[in-house]
Amino acid sequence: MKTPRLSPEEEKSLWNQFRAGGRVAFEKLLQLHYRSLYHYGAKFTKDGEFIKDCIQDLFLELWKNRATLGETNYPRSYLLKSLRRKIYRELYRNRHHAQAEPLEEDYHFDVAFSVEHLMLREEAAKDTAEKMAHLLNRLPRRQKEIVYLRYFQELEVSEIVQVMDLTPQSVYNLLHKAVSRLRQYWFDETEKSLGLLLFVAMLS
């Protein structure tokens, strides 16, 4: 089930109502984005209770500091970025290395792409979905995260820039590399399948 999406204008208006102290707007933001935030957090750790605690702490902090928050055209990506940072900090603190921030290159991003994620319902398409899930999981972690944000969270490039602290060109480059790798992986897997079919035919 996809997360309900508001228009950019509606989402920005909701964010500004929350900043002005609107509790209804605050609760609606939580309801709208909780599912997406939880699924995103689950890519960094499998500890569901830890993710829920991080989301709860994040929204408590947002409410407490609402008067000092700035405007944003992308509340959803702002929330994803905030959760990403909080998870980094908490995971790093739990490893007893609170003296420094975690290195960006060391972060973990584990995506369990499933047939349901790929939204393929027909039985004939199931094999294709499972194959694509396998190929997606072969991508390097940053490429995997960008594919997840772009095609599963349905963020625009400008929003991914905000979430991952990258330049637009870096996002485009990583997306291009990810798509190129997936094409090559698909070609290699298809070639192997054809080779196996030919081998079986020769034995028949």
Q: What is the model's pLDDT at position 169?
A: 96
Q: 160 and 86 in one domain?
A: no
Q: What is the model's pLDDT at position 183?
A: 84
Mean pLDDT by 10 residues, the chain (204 residues): 68 94 94 93 90 96 94 93 92 56 52 53 58 80 90 90 94 92 77 50 45
Q: 102 and 20 in one domain?
A: yes
Could you list the residue range(s) of the whole structural domain that residue 51 is in? 8-106
Q: What is the model's pLDDT at position 63?
A: 96
Domain-embedded: residue 113? no
User: What is the three-class DSSP state of 191?
Assistant: helix
Query: The CATH number of the domain where 86 resides is what?
Result: 1.10.1740.10
CA angle, corner 132, sides to 120 and 160, nearest 5?
A: 90
Q: Which residue has the tokens 């079919």?
A: 197
Domain-embedded: residue 179? yes
Query: Tokens standing for 68?
Result: 């000092």
Q: What is the model's pLDDT at position 97?
A: 39
Q: What is the pTM of this model?
A: 0.74
CA angle, corner 4, sides to 45 and 20, nearest 5?
A: 90
The total of structural domains in the chain comes to: 2
Q: What is the model's pLDDT at position 179?
A: 86
Q: What is the model's pLDDT at position 167?
A: 94
CA angle, corner 20, sides to 19 and 25, nearest 5?
A: 70
Query: The CATH number of the domain where 181 resides is what?
Result: 1.10.10.10
Q: Are 123 and 130 in contact (CB under 8 A)?
A: no
